[in-house]
């Protein structure tokens, strides 16, 4: 068992985090989306250690993080859609899946052997500085044990991974609070693989304005299999059962509210009293954790979630809630955890 170092975000902590990453160690750090578990993406030993620390299935590829678009396009092919989307959304919570360049230095372990690479330029100032100092691509899936709720604070990271990783760099709470939107640009038509921190409408309108092929919005599994290797059902799992679209709540339930909270719950976390999906996204994972922990302490039977609208970041929130509510091992009809 390792002793996980807690690093402050000052120059000393950031320098230590960069040195550890360059030495092939595992360092969690905050981005604008969630905390990522970073490893040198060019180092197969470091990347294997990420899968191991998270208990993540090795067929589920990782996102590589770099400091700017030039660093990204040294690794992947700059297609016309990639150029347009990078100009509009990087740095920011958009991940693009693109063909790897022949000279791409990211190791095969990070991409699960695929010819494509998922890549992103995060906007958090500390993450930016860290990536510039490390000066190589950093693979960083969410810094939680596979299948559990993603972390949006350094304390959440330690809850799940203390003793399994070398360090966590405290970058404060994550402002977006949901993972990046993932778009596959390796085919003829751009395709949404995962709803996330940038609304699909915003992406669709940039593509349309540039006269590029229209966004295919079908993110979920088809008969042919999951859209993306990590898109299996159960994920983000609290320990208490979660039910969706609640329009009433019992006295022995916890309530995840949106807008005007339903009366009668034992415990309530309001995602956004004013009905704002951006605010709701930023409060989602912390709320699920709080309701789960306190709910278990109080002996409650489950969490009821109110309906979240389908506009803005609503689809991304609904996606996370649907997966948090999906059957999982230990429950009567279990599908395996996807792991991320
Ligand atoms: P996470 O690291 O947990 O935020 O998840 C990253 C998501 O991106 C997972 O759903 C992966 O399956 C997906 N992903 C990563 N690389 C690729 C790729 N090359 N092709 C398709 N999907 C990918
Ligand atoms: Mg994840």
Reply yes or no on whether the pLDDT at 229 is more than 90: no
Task: Tell the CATH topology of 5-209.
Answer: DHBP synthase (3.90.870)
Q: Look at strands 167-169 and 63-65 and give their pairing.
A: unpaired
- Residues in contact with ligand 1 (CB, 6 Å cut-off): 60-63, 97, 111, 114, 116-118, 141-142, 179, 182, 193-194, 228-231, 340
pLDDT in tens, 203-219: 999 999 999 999 998 75
DSSP, res 119 = E
Reply yes or no on whether the pLDDT at 85 is more than 70: yes
DSSP letter string, 233-288 = SB-S--SS-EE-S-SS--TTEEEEE-SSPPS--SEEEES-TT--HHHHHHHHHHHH
Residue 19 in marked binding region: no
Query: CA torsion angle for 25, 31, 35, 41 (degrees, to 10)?
Result: -30
Cα of 324 to ligand 1 centre, how many Å? Answer: 18
Whole-number CA gyration radius for the chain? 19
pLDDT in tens, 119-165: 999 998 999 999 999 999 999 999 999 989 999 999 999 999 999 99
* pTM (two decimals): 0.93
Cα of 131 to ligand 2 centre, how many Å? Answer: 20
Q: Note whether 61 and 230 are within 8 A (CB).
A: yes
Domain ranges of the chain: 5-209, 242-325
Cα of 129 to ligand 2 centre, how many Å? Answer: 23
């Amino acid at each position: 068992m390792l002793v996980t170092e807690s690093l402050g975000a000052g120059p000393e902590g950031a320098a230590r985090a960069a040195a550890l990453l360059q030495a092939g160690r595992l360092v969690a750090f905050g981005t604008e989306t969630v905390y990522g578990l970073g490893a040198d993406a060019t180092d197969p030993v470091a990347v294997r250690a990420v899968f191991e620390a998270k208990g993540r299935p090795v067929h589920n590829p990782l996102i590589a993080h770099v400091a700017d678009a030039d660093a990204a396009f040294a690794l992947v092919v700059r297609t016309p859609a990639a150029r347009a989307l990078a100009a509009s959304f990087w740095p920011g919570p958009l991940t693009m899946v693109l063909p790897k360049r022949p000279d791409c230095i990211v190791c095969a372990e990070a991409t699960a052997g695929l010819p494509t690479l998922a890549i992103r330029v995060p906007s958090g100032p500390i993450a930016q500085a860290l990536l510039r100092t490390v000066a190589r691509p950093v693979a960083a899936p969410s810094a939680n044990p596979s299948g559990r709720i993603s972390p949006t604070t350094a304390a959440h990271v330690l809850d799940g991974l203390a003793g399994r990783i070398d360090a966590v760099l405290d970058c404060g709470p994550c402002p977006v609070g949901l993972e990046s939107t993932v778009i596959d640009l390796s085919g003829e038509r751009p395709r949404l693989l995962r709803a996330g921190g940038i609304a699909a409408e915003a992406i669709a309108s940039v593509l349309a304005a540039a006269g590029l092929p229209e966004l295919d919005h079908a993110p979920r599994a088809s008969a042919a299999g999951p859209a993306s290797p990590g898109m299996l059902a159960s994920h983000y799992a609290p320990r208490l059962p979660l039910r969706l679209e609640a329009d009433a709540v019992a006295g022995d339930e916890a309530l995840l509210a949106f807008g005007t909270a339903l009366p009668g719950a034992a415990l309530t976390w309001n995602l956004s009293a004013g009905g704002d999906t951006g605010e709701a996204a930023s409060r989602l994972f912390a709320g699920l954790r709080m309701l789960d922990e306190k709910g278990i302490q109080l002996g409650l039977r489950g969490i009821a979630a109110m309906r979240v609208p389908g506009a803005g970041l609503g689809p991304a929130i609904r996606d996370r809630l649907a997966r948090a509510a999906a059957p999982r091992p230990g429950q009567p009809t279990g599908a395996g955890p996807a792991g991320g």
